[in-house]
Structure 1
Amino acid sequence: MRTVKNLNRMKATIIPLFFFLSLSLFAQTSIKVVNSSNLEPVPGVFISGAGIKNTITDNLGIAQIDLTKSKKLNFSHIGFQKLTVEILSVQDQTIMLKPTTNDLSAITVAAFESDRPLLQQAGAVSRVLESELYRFNETSIVNAFNTKAGVRVEERAPASYRISIRGSSLRSPFGVRNVKVYWNGIPFTAPDGTTPLNILDLSNVQNTEIIKGPAGSIYGAGNGGVISFESRRTIDENRIATDLNVGDFGLMRYRFGIDQQIGNGGISASYVHQKSDGFREHSAVDRKVFQLAAHFNPSDRQSLSTQILFSDLHYQIPGALNGTQLEENPRQARPGSKDQNSSIAQKSVYGTISHQYDFTDKVTNETALYINTAEFENPFILDYKRETAFSYGGRTKFTRDDHLGMFPIRFIAGGEYQYGYTAAQNFGNRNGQADTVRFSDDLITTQAFLFQQIEIEWTNKLLMTLAFSENFSKYDINRSVDASANEPSRNSRRFDPIVIPRLAMAYQLNPRSGIHGSISSGFSPPSIAEVRTNEGSINLDLEAERGINYEVGYRASYGIFNVDITAFYFKLSQTITSFTNEQGVVLFRNAGSTNQRGIEASVDYAPWRNQQAWIQEVKFAHAFTGHYFEFADFVSGGNDFSGNQLTGVAPNTLVNQFDLRFMPGFYLNFTHQFVDKLPLNDANTVFQESYHLVNSRLGWRKSLGKGWDAEIYTGVDNLLNEVYSLGNDLNAFANRFFQPAPLRNYYGGVKLGYSF
């Protein structure tokens, strides 16, 4: 009897102990994955991690995983952003994935300094996602940006960019002007109005938002629009990654990057070296970029980020060709370019810090500061330029959410300030070496503005925005050396304070569609490079451009289809245009007014998406740009160009994209672009012919398990072998209009990453 009782006691002890040990050794965690935009379950999500075999969620979005301790798991699905989360053992959890589809009802953008769904934004806004940057050769932003309606990025030579948003490149013989650029919240456009976009590598950009048309009410000067670049701000895993990309014309690009989590933040570092010999004679490029970033959340109410960016860039300038030279040999350089070592060498360092603080649940502040130094050297056929620049500045913004009676309101107010000093010297150029000094200037530029914006929700469907900014700018040009007959002089130009208003309305027809309209003013003072030209003249009479833009648009998501259409009319006065004198020097003048009418439309759709099928996804995207711009009133040199088509702007552009993704990890991207015939001079007597550009990329991307992932890809640019210019010289002297782009060329690469 006693033996039976002892056996019963042992059973009572052993069975629970065995059960506990079973849970410890085979602890099952139930994970449910849902769509963050509508909380619906997501079937077919692949879940992986160190020591975990690939697991797939069922039709209810649920997966059971054996965990003995907390572990980081990766969640991936064809229609959602990849996510890495630390999962607690023996604790059921719900994971929310963000859709990667362009469902307009689920997209939130920060345009006009207000984080709102795209359907509530009353303006033409385009996004360039990180995945879109990597549909092409990974050497520049050009191809990805050129898939967006109304946006045109040109590369006259490798690393020599020119950006046109709605024809804004008319006054840009080189470089980026008349477009305001931000990088991680700091003004990346220099105080003098130019933007060193070519110092950034593709790895320094994760996502981009583009506002098309004047946005001076909240971003200051620039009639073309605003580009806001964001690099990665969240470090959610420890990771080491390396890339290698090679291609025709001696192309080689390699990158090494590391991310390290520290508490609830982390640090990251990357180094990229890219070089090539170039398609044309004397068009080599060599760029090294190092970025170090740290991101932390000191408390629940604040976040802090700081970055250092160093860029060492050198590229050769082959120069423009005339029609005869283009036909003879598009790969040749302009005579004299090589002998004079026409090129640019530029070293830049940016230091930035940004801070966000929530004072209350209704009041927040975001402040970003930067400091920049740069050394610039530019031997050219006609002269030799050296500059040493120093600048600093910042931007702050306060946001308050409140009520005006029964109506929710959001009030935004802040300011931006930039100061720049440049010691600039121009020499003669003797066989690529600096000769005697011609003139030397100390250039001081200050730009500042205050902005205020109020958003009123009159109903849950109708949002009104009213915004103003007060803008101030000044140039000081102190000439200490002048080898001509002129005496040294002090020159100053202060532009009268300019008030820029904007009124916008957005109305949601239903949860998945909406209309919007706006009236916005814009202005753009001449950059210091336009006031102080390379031959030594100082044109203090050059006036700021002023314009007003009327715009209406419609956005909607219909099942698998997303549609975005915008029509606008932009009236620009005191238009600044470029021309070339008999010595080949580019000069500038105010050219009366222009009428710019346009329509921009895009549609994308995914007729097939199945995570568990062999063909996982089929996607199409189309973008049409119709820019019907003309000089309204322009008389120059006794010639009346009124009514002529605006120089350098193609009336029609069409982009078609086709993407395939397969279960084994293979993908295929195909892009076709048509660019219409466009005038190269104000008289409309010389045109670049229309052309079709076709690019394609084929690759394999896979998670290899145990923290490893890899990608192998190959691609072709200009598949049809078209002869065309990716950026022309406008109103060029001696008919040197053409900057030939590469013919058919191939590239390939490999990527390897390890997460731990």
Structure 2
Amino acid sequence: MPTQRMFRHGLLLPTWALATTVAAAQPITPQAELAPITVTATRTAQSPFDVAASVDVVAAPASGSLDVNASELLQGVPGILARDRQNYAQDTQISIRGFGARTTFGIRGVRLYSDGIPATMPDGQGQVSHFSLDAADRIEVLRGPFSALYGNASGGVVQLFSAEGTDPPQVRLGLAGGSDGMLRAALNARGVQGPLDYNIDFSHFRTDGYRDHSRAQRESGNAVLGWKLDDRRKLTVVLNTMNLPGAQDPLGLTPEQFHDNPRQADEAATTFNTRKSVSQQQAGLTYDDQLSNASHLRLMGYYGQRSVLQYLSIPATAQISPLSAGGVVDLGNEYGGGDARWTWASTLAGLPFELTVGASYDNQHQHRRGFENFVDDTVGVRGALRRDEQDRVHDFDQYAQASWRVADAWTVMAGLRHSEVKFATDDRYITAANPDDSGRVDYSATTPVAGVLYRVSPTAHLYASYGKGFETPTFSELGYRNDGDSGLNFGLRPSRTRSAEVGLKLRPRPGTQADFALFRADSRDEVAVATSLGGRTTYQNIPRARRQGAEASLTTTFAPHWKLQLAYTWLDASFRSPFLACAGRCAAPNTPVDAGARIAGVPRSNGYAALHYGGETGWQADLDGRYVAAVPTDDLGTTKASPYAVFGTGAGYVTDHGHWRTHAFARIDNLADRRYVGSVIVNDGNGRYFEPGPGRTFLLGVDLRWQP
């Protein structure tokens, strides 16, 4: 591979990678496809076929899609459940093999990165609302034991990589609109100018929402600027901004409300005008140095600010207690950190060998304030101060990872990471009835991982891997003690997991690939809900939990311009120890849950199928479907969201005229206008578990591309 292609996040990467999944209305050009490359599993560029781990590379659509939610690209990856909640005040739901399913907002249990910059805070909570899909080249998804090499809360890893600048340069304009007042406009410029390559993107999105009281607007900007210092050194600057002002929150619905009218908002949402505003700006700098033919150095640093203002629906009567934190959450976050990594790739005993060693540091400083959400008889406004604290969490990790092809047919991989995560809070709201809640707690873990890959033949590879991982409670989960006293719940322990998988990867012919995996992960001290009352949710540790299952996927080009994709996941996620939980709202767990109870939020199976027709120009067409089995909504298993299958279709036409390339497209989702629950709010104390998926919707758009 040419030397000038060696500077993408410090790794060897081609300009475009082949998608192992297909987005709706995405043009596929079989003759232009290149072999996919992944960096997430090994931190060095390798083919997924040669990695002893479950990893998928999803190419961002060149055009013809909405490009707003990460769930658009992740639908067809087995093992991952990415759900658009139709609620932009709460972000996309993402879980991998059942990890992260317990979250009611944000993303937990899954590590997130955008252009190498963590989108997961050191406490393990993250978000993807700032992911720039317009500027993206691909998303990589890692599942299984090797995820643990990314540290705290690595039940899986999702990484977005922006595209490099193009030569000749390009200017892209995308416009799309559809049901429920949806509008997306995006402008992107990418190119190469001497030693500089750039990818600059701005997008605007707004919607009135499928449900009442769910209007939202979001502006995003992303810039990746690379400066080639010489033939071996490069600096890359990543700038990102996101603004989400006053996104309305319709809250969940009870089963009765859902069956009556899935488009309604709960009465509390309109009474309290529940809403959320988010503003985030961050910057990152990466230095890559190819020190020699064998060694490479990568240094990365980043800094960001994120502010959140959220109005909740907590009634005034629930705020009478002097220990209440109120009904308005005001968070000011400053975060930053860095990563230093050295890679050596040569031979050991005459056979290919790669070694990566590094260290990372991440820090989050959060100013958390709480206010009453009423003034006299007026609700939904900021009232008196009820909480004021400075929360800090930082991690310091050291890691090493190696891959050695010990024989023509055998490759072994191994890694080790040591993590230290430290929490501290400084309480600044102290009264006679609300004592000083300051405190600190430290967590640490050493997580080894090992795997082996056997090349049965040039078209079939077997692999197996085993490792340990851990997940600390987030600051949100430490927020309240489950005994009702004041202070943070520093008695919570981190969850520790032993996981294993075996898999088979097949590449029987060009354009066809199939992957199969069996996996099992046993956790102790699983973090789960203890109580939910008066707007406060507390958490407890469950001694044992298990997630086990199987994944299968197939992608094949079976005729000129025809492509088929299939993905299926079977997952049994259950608690293996009995415990006490709340039946609705309660101040202390009082209802037995038997061993073997299913973990809430995890369907037993889900599948995806997509059929695509189209070449580089001319007509494009897609037909796809999704199936999700019944989803338990609480630990007691008293309520379930019914299974569903929905189908969509899209069509478009691509033309090239001189300097212009035009793609006009249309799409219809939920063709049968089926009523279904698209996502659930697990263990909601008010029984408002259901977040309805939209009925039949349409999307019309055009993508324009100009290049000299």
Give the TM-score taking structure 1 as reference length: 0.83
Q: Which one of the candidate residues 415, 422, 425 is aligned to 2:366?
A: 422
Return the match for 1:476 from 424, 446, 451.
Answer: 424
In structure 1, what is the Cα distance between the partners aligned to 2:688 and 2:531?
A: 10
- Superposed CA offset, 1:698-746 (max 9, x none): 11122212x1111111101111212122221112223211111211111
**Conserved in 1, the CA contact under 8 Å of 2:132 and 2:221?**
no
Going from structure 1 to structure 2, the CA distance change for 1:304 and 1:727 (only over 3 Å counts) comes to same
**In the alignment, is residue 731 of structure 1 matched against residue 683 of structure 2?**
yes
Structure 1 match to 2:207: 276
| Aligned equivalent of 1:113, options 19, 43, 56 | 43
| 1:363-390 deviation digits (Å, cap 9, x = unpaired) | 1011221110112111111210111111
Q: Aligned equivalents of 1:592 and 1:404: distance in 2?
A: 43
CA offsets 1:417-473 (integer angstroms, 9 cap, x no match): 011111110111022211111111101110121001122211022111121011001
| Aligned mate of 1:157, from 56, 64, 86 | 86
Q: How does 1:366-377 map to 2 (within 5 A)?
A: 366-377=298-309
CA distance in 1, matches of 2:358, 2:514: 34
Matches within 5 A, 1:190-209: 190-209=121-140
Alpha-carbon displacement from aligned partner over 1:670-704 (angstroms, at most 9, x marks no partner): 11111111211212221111100112211112221
What pairs with 1:641-656 in structure 2 (closer than 5 Å)? Answer: 641-656=594-609
Distance across 1 between alignment mates of 2:623 and 2:636? 37
Per-residue deviation, 1:574: 0.6
CA distance in 1 between partners of 2:55 and 2:533 (Å):
41
| Contact 2:632–2:641 (CA under 8 A) maintained in structure 1 | yes
Query: Where do residues 135-174 of structure 1 align in structure 2 (5 Å cutoff)?
Result: 136-159=65-88, 160-174=91-105
Query: By how many angstroms is 1:542 displaced?
Result: 0.8
C-alpha contact (below 8 Å) 1:389/1:423 kept by paired residues: yes
Query: Which residue of 2 is the match for residue 751 of structure 1?
Result: 703
Give runs of aligned pairs for residues 299-448 of structure 1, distance below 5 A. Answer: 299-314=230-245, 315-382=247-314, 383-430=327-374, 431-448=379-396
1:555 aligns with 2:555: no
Give how far 1:213 is off: 2.7
* Structural mapping, 1:236-247, within 5 Å: 236-247=167-178
2: CA distance, partners of 1:343 / 1:168: 27
Name the aligned partner's letter for residue 348 of structure 2.
Answer: L
Secondary structure of the residue aligned to 1:361 is coil
The CA distance in 2 between the partners of 1:454 and 1:293, in whole Å, is 30
CA distance in 2, matches of 1:237, 1:664: 19
Residues 1:124 and 2:54 are matched in the alignment: yes
Residues 631, 644 of structure 1: 8 Å contact kept? yes
2:254, 2:688 within 8 Å by CA — same for their partners in 1?
yes
2:459 matches 1:520: no
For the Cα contact (< 8 Å) 2:58–2:138, is it kept in 1?
A: yes
Measure how far apart 1:341 and its partner are: 2.0
Q: 1:607 is matched with which residue: 554, 558, 563?
A: 558
> 1:246 aligns to what SS in structure 2?
strand
> Under a length normalisation based on structure 2, what TM-score does the superposition of the two structures give?
0.88
Identity of matched residues, %: 20
Question: What code does the residue aligned with 1:368 have?
Answer: M
Q: Is the 8 A contact 1:569 1:595 kept in 2?
A: yes
AA matched with 2:594: F
* CA separation of 1:481 and 1:664: change in aligned 2, threshold 3 A: closer
For residue 492 of structure 2, the aligned residue among 528, 535, 542 is: 542
- 2:324 is matched with none
Task: Quote the Cα distance in structure 1 between the aligned partners of 2:362 and 2:155.
Answer: 20
- Provide the aligned length of Structure 1 versus Structure 2: 651
| Corresponding letter in the other structure for 1:512 | T
Query: Any idea what SS the aligned residue of 1:336 has?
Result: helix
SS state at 1:337 partner: helix
Mapped contact 1:297–1:303 kept (Cα < 8 A): yes
Query: What is the RMSD of the two structures over their aligned residues, measured on CA atoms?
Result: 2.1
The residue identity in structure 2 corresponding to 1:124 is S
Say which of 487, 493, 500 aligns to 2:441. 493
Distance 1:384-1:519 versus aligned 2 partners, 3 A rule? same
Find the aligned partners of 1:122 and 1:188 in 2 and give their Cα distance.
Answer: 26
Higher-Rg member (1/2): 1
Aligned CA distance change for structure 1 residues 713 and 77 (closer, same or farther; 3 Å): closer
Partners of 2:601 and 2:437 in 1: CA distance: 36
Conservation of the 8 A alpha-carbon contact between 1:260 and 1:266? yes
CA contact (8 A) 1:318 1:337 kept: yes
**Residue from 529, 535, 538 that aligns with 1:587:** 538
Contact 1:136–1:697 (CA<8 Å) still a contact in 2? Answer: no
Counterparts of 2:534 and 2:564 in 1: how far apart (Å)?
A: 49
SS of residue in 2 equivalent to 1:170: coil
SS at match of 2:180: coil
Q: Please give the alpha-carbon distance, in whole angstroms, between the structure 1 residues aligned to 2:75 and 2:145.
A: 20
1:413 Cα deviation after fit: 0.1
Does the 8 Å CA contact 1:173/1:586 hold for their aligned counterparts? Answer: no
Amino acid in the other structure paired with 1:747? L
**Distance (whole Å) between structure 2 residues aligned to residue 359 and residue 661 of structure 1:** 44
The aligned counterpart of 2:321 is none
- Identify which range, 498-507 or 160-169, moves more after superposition: 160-169
Contact 1:363 1:398 in 2 (8 A): yes
Q: Is the 8 A contact 2:164 2:190 kept in 1?
A: no
SS of 1:202's equivalent?
coil
Which letter maps to 2:602? V
Q: Is the 8 A contact 1:170 1:578 kept in 2?
A: no
Determine the structure 2 residue equivalent to 1:48: none
Deviation track 1:633-688 (CA, whole Å, cap 9, x = no partner) reads 13113503211222211111121110011586110111111111121121222111
The one-letter code sitting in structure 2 at the alignment partner of 1:525 is T
Maintained 8 Å contact 2:529/2:540: yes
Give the CA deviation at 1:109. 4.5
- For residue 624 of structure 2, what is the aligned residue in structure 1? 671
Inter-CA distance 258–235: structure 2 relative to 1 (3 Å threshold) = same
From the superposition, tell whether residues 749 and 77 of structure 1 become closer, same or farther in structure 2 (CA, over 3 Å). Answer: closer
Instruction: Give how far 1:506 is off.
Output: 0.8
SS in 2 for 1:575: strand
Per the TM alignment, residue 162 of structure 1 is displaced from its structure 2 partner at its CA by 1.6
TM-fit CA distance, 1:158:
3.3
- Give the SS at the match of 1:111: coil
Q: Is the 8 A contact 2:354 2:402 kept in 1?
A: yes
Once the two structures are overlaid, the 10-residue window that deviates more, 232-241 or 221-230, is 232-241
Q: What displacement does 1:195 show? A: 1.2
Q: Does the Cα contact within 8 Å between 1:215 and 1:522 map onto a contact in 2?
A: no
**Structure showing greater relative contact order (alpha-carbon pairs closer than 8 Å, 6 or more residues apart):** 2
Counterpart contact for 1:414–1:450, Cα < 8 Å: yes
Separation in structure 2 between the aligned mates of residue 217 and residue 679 of structure 1, nearest angstrom: 27
Measure the CA separation in 2 of the matches of 1:215 and 1:542. Answer: 25
| Distance apart, 1:537 and its partner CA | 4.7
Among 701, 715, 727, the residue aligned to 2:667 = 715
> In 2, distance between residues paired with 1:354 and 1:479?
36
Contact 1:438 1:483 in 2 (8 A): no
* Inter-partner Cα distance in structure 2 for 1:505 and 1:317: 47
User: Aligned with 1:325: secondary structure?
Assistant: helix
One-letter amino acid of the counterpart of residue 450, structure 1? Q
Q: State how far apart, in whole Å, the 2-side matches of 1:398 and 1:686 are.
A: 51
Letter in 1 for 2:537: V
Q: How does 1:187-266 map to 2 (within 5 A)?
A: 187-215=118-146, 217-266=148-197
- Residue 565 of structure 2 corresponds to 621
Could you say which residue in structure 2 is the equivalent of 1:639?
A: 592
What displacement does 1:113 show? Answer: 0.9
